[in-house]
Structure 1
Amino acid sequence: MNQLTELKPLTKKDFESDQDVRWCPGCGDYALLAQMQKLLPTLGIPRENFAFISGIGCSSRFPYYMETYGMHSIHGRAPAIASGLKLARPELSVWVVSGDGDSLAIGGNHFIHAMRRNIGLKIILLNNRIYGLTKGQYSPTSEFGKKTKTTPHGSIDRPFSPISVALGAGATFVARTIDSDLQHLQQTLKRAAEHPGTAFVEVLQNCIVFNDGAYDDISGKQTRADARILLEQGKPLRFGKDGSKGIRMRGFEPEVVTVGENGITEADLLVHDEAAANGGLAFFLSQFAAPLPVPMGVFRAVEAPSYDELNAELAADARAKKGDGTLERLFNSGDTWVVN
């Protein structure tokens, strides 16, 4: 790469590969792909320092369509592979693109420990509440009673909340957005990219073939104002077409109230704090269920030492004390024995 090329500003087109994008027409994956390709040129990171790792599923074709380094790995193991890459090459911006089945079923253990360790990964989970690639079986996020090919009488599993799982594992950045709100999607991805530790983003996504309409209330122009609530740091939890509704606590239970009625003022409403150290408020919001609105935005954003930074410090300390190691010395150190 010559100096002129290095100085040339990157554009969205620089991150578009020559592969034909093969998702179903209308799939939310297209929205994520476009917003990611728009975001990366703005981050000030050389293109060769990006890597995208995926597992198995519709979303896992993502690395093919990014003109970056990447790997289409095996089912559920993308966080493990991405963790190894980030530890070996901490200067890289490493992204994981996954789905609700890939990350929360067979990959659940890897997902949890990626959150716990706070490795500097950016993990995007596209949640369409169904197995799309394998043609419509229920997933860990499918709603109770969901009728699918594998649950013809309705699912009796209680669904996971990906946000709750991430928060329960101690993730330092947790957010939720939706494929149909491009501005909110872009803003959320940018916040995730700038976070120094593990950044987890759940993208609510429509599967037009096997679970069409899964998020109609949240995405519909006529219903979304009442069905979702946008989380903004330091601001009261208000929603509705004119912002007249809000969330008030009655003891330990949240309730929907109308500001201006029965003496209720904005001062009575719950105030969002994404930086709260203990994460209790974030987890509380992650458990909202109908008739409460669906929270959208950043639930938690706190800074803590990242695993890759701590690992680099350990390695530097070991080199300072013992010098650079060699594979031969490693094999012949400690207890060794000879088998005749």
Structure 2
Amino acid sequence: MNDMTPIQTTLKDWETDQEVRWCPGCGDYAILKAVQRTLPQLGANPAKTVFVSGIGCSSRFPYYVESYGFHTIHGRAPAFATGIKLANPELDVWMVTGDGDGLSIGGNHLMHVLRRNVNLQILLFNNEIYGLTKGQYSPTSRIGTRTPSTPLGSVDRPTNPCAFALGAGARFVARGFDVSKNLPDVLKAAHAHQGAAFIEIFQNCIVYNKDVFNDFAAPKGAEDQQLWLADGEPMLFAKGTKGISLDRDALELKVVDVVDGDWQAAGVLVHNVKNRSIAHMLIELPFGPFPMALGVLYDDPRPTFESAVIEERTKASAGKEANLAKLLAKGQTWTVPGTAQDPIGTRVPGQGGNPETQGRA
């Protein structure tokens, strides 16, 4: 079902002749380049790759990747991507959405593609603003955000995209940011996962929400505020001088100091990507007292939606003859021969017909 034989490509093979049209300095440029550089490393085949998007700045993505692409309608990219994967499971499907497209009008569709576990990669660009429609607040905007639609400051509690994904039943949840050198590794992990792989990518909107993530995602100087997670590795940050431990009495995470590199003595947790409870704690960590948890937060595969659908179809059709004419002639059907004098003809009961319903057509 998944004949994805690796092939050799280069960055140039994934670049289109389209002019990339985002605002100068937009984080989308960095994400696009990270994806285009990662695809050759995956051995991906442009002829078997599809990028699907909804509406928004991020959703211009399919124009800029030399593969099959589908720029769909607002919030409905998950529905299209699901249909594509069911129609041809051989395709490698990537879905690109934004915090507005994916979590407001598209929240319902996003929830279902996650809970169904359709085998595709979901990239949600989160700039905490509506960029394409000129800077209104979005479902992820912070309390107090001043925009044309919230001139006095937003009073909405923002949505946490990764918490949403985990709550919807996602089996792979990860985080990265646009200019991070580690983003390709997160993309590779998502691609290796069999099932719906959700990645939240913090993305700088240079015009309407500039530098809102600089505390942890600035190109330089924010490294100490990043907790990059790796399965089987201790949760260390700030050049290994601090770590994340579990307060077993309060059942909550805490920051501990690491002396002389002895993280075990400090009680630092070792990351286990299959531990859903710890993943949820990491996702909900308040930034400021804690670093931003990045990388693969949760990865615990289960059978995919399309594999279950194909298995069901196979069982239902076992031992049955594929005969459309026979199927159409089943039940209340008639033949209408017709003549030159009577082109409509008279109903004549055919196979499965009902003689009591004969009469003029």
TM-score calculated relative to the size of structure 2: 0.85
Kindly report the root-mean-square deviation, in angstroms, between the aligned alpha carbons of the 2 structures.
2.4
Distance 2:216 2:297 in 1: 17
Do the aligned partners of 1:12 and 1:41 also contact (CA within 8 Å) in 2? yes
TM-aligned CA distance change 1:76 to 1:333, over 3 Å:
farther
Counterpart code for 2:299: A
Contact 2:31–2:178 at 8 Å: present in 1 too? Answer: yes
Q: Count residues with an aligned counterpart.
A: 328
Matches within 5 A, 1:82-231: 82-181=81-180, 183-220=181-218, 223-231=221-229
Cα separation, partners in 2 of 1:245 and 1:97, compared to 1, 3 Å? same
2:61 aligned with 1:56: no
CA distance in structure 2 between the partners assigned to 1:334 and 1:275 by the alignment = 52
Query: Out of 314, 320, 323, which is 1:316 matched to?
Result: 314
Q: 1:335 to 1:84 in 2, by over 3 A?
A: farther
| Distance in 1 between residues matched to 2:330 and 2:168, nearest whole Å | 37
Larger displacement relative to structure 2 (228-237 or 306-315): 228-237
Summarize the Cα distance change of 1:266–1:71 in structure 2 as closer, same or farther, 3 Å threshold. Answer: farther
Aligned equivalent of 2:246: 249
SS at match of 1:87: helix
**Distance in 1 (alpha carbons) for counterparts of 2:332 and 2:146:** 58
Shift of 1:67: 1.2
Of structures 1 and 2, the larger Rg is shown by 2
Once residues 142 and 68 of structure 1 are traced to their aligned partners in structure 2, the CA distance between those partners, rounded to angstroms, is 33
Q: What's the CA shift for 1:8? A: 8.0
| Residues 335 and 232 of structure 1: CA distance in aligned 2, closer, same or farther (over 3 Å) | farther
Distance 1:243 1:22, change over 3 A: same
2:72 alignment partner in structure 1: 73
Q: Any idea what the Cα deviations from partners look like across 1:111-152, whole Å, max 9, x if unmatched?
A: 011110011011000000000000000011111111111111
Q: CA deviation at 1:226?
A: 2.8
Change (3 A) 1:74 1:162: same
Greater Cα offset, 133-142 or 312-321: 312-321
**Partners in 1 of 2:151 and 2:163 — Cα distance?**
28
CA–CA separation in structure 2 for the residues paired with 1:274 and 1:184: 17
Cα distance change, pair 330–92 in 1 and its aligned pair in 2 (3 A): farther
Return closer, same or farther for 1:285/1:334 CA change in 2, 3 Å cut-off: farther
Cα separation, 2, equivalents of 1:68 and 1:167: 30
Question: Residue 275 of structure 1 aligns with which residue?
Answer: 274
1:166-215: per-residue Cα shift (whole Å, max 9, x none)? 1111111111001111x211111111111111111111110000000111
Query: Percent same amino acid at aligned positions?
Result: 48
Distance in structure 2 (CA, Å) of the matches to 1:178 and 1:335: 61
Q: Deviations over 1:28-71 (max 9, x none)?
A: 11111112111222323332100111000001001111111111
Partner Cα separation in structure 1 for residue 6 and residue 86 of structure 2 = 28
Shift of residue 84, structure 1, vs aligned partner: 0.4
Q: Which amino acid counterpart does residue 43 of structure 1 have in structure 2?
A: L
Gaps of 5+ in 1: 1-5
TM superposition shift of 1:329: 5.9
- TM-score by structure 1 length? 0.90
- Alignment match, 1:289: 286
Contact 1:236 1:266 in 2 (8 A): no
Judged with a 3 Å threshold, the aligned counterparts in structure 2 of structure 1 residues 8 and 110 are, in CA distance, closer, same or farther, namely closer
* Stretch of structure 1 that moved more, 329-338 or 117-126: 329-338
Pair 234,8 (structure 1): closer, same or farther in 2 beyond 3 Å: closer
Three-state SS of the structure 2 residue aligned to 1:208 is coil
Q: Aligned residue for 1:239?
A: 237
Deviation at 1:253, TM superposition (A): 2.6
Alpha carbons of structure 1 residues 329 and 306: separation in structure 2 relative to 1, 3 Å: farther
Shifted more, 35-44 versus 162-171: the winner is 35-44
More helix, by proportion: 1
Deviation at 1:9, TM superposition (A): 3.1
How far is 1:23 from its partner? 0.5
Q: Distance in 2 between matches of 1:292 and 1:254?
A: 9
Aligned-residue offset at 1:255: 2.0
Taking the aligned partners of 1:192 and 1:265, their CA distance within structure 2 comes to: 29
Q: 1:271 aligns to what SS in structure 2?
A: coil
- Are residues 330 and 197 of structure 1, via their aligned partners in 2, closer, same or farther at CA, if it must alter by over 3 Å? farther
Rounded to whole Å, the distance in 2 between the matches of 1:8 and 1:223 is 38
SS at match of 2:136: coil
CA distance in structure 2 between the partners assigned to 1:29 and 1:329 by the alignment: 54
Task: Report the CA distance between 1:7 and its aligned residue.
Answer: 11
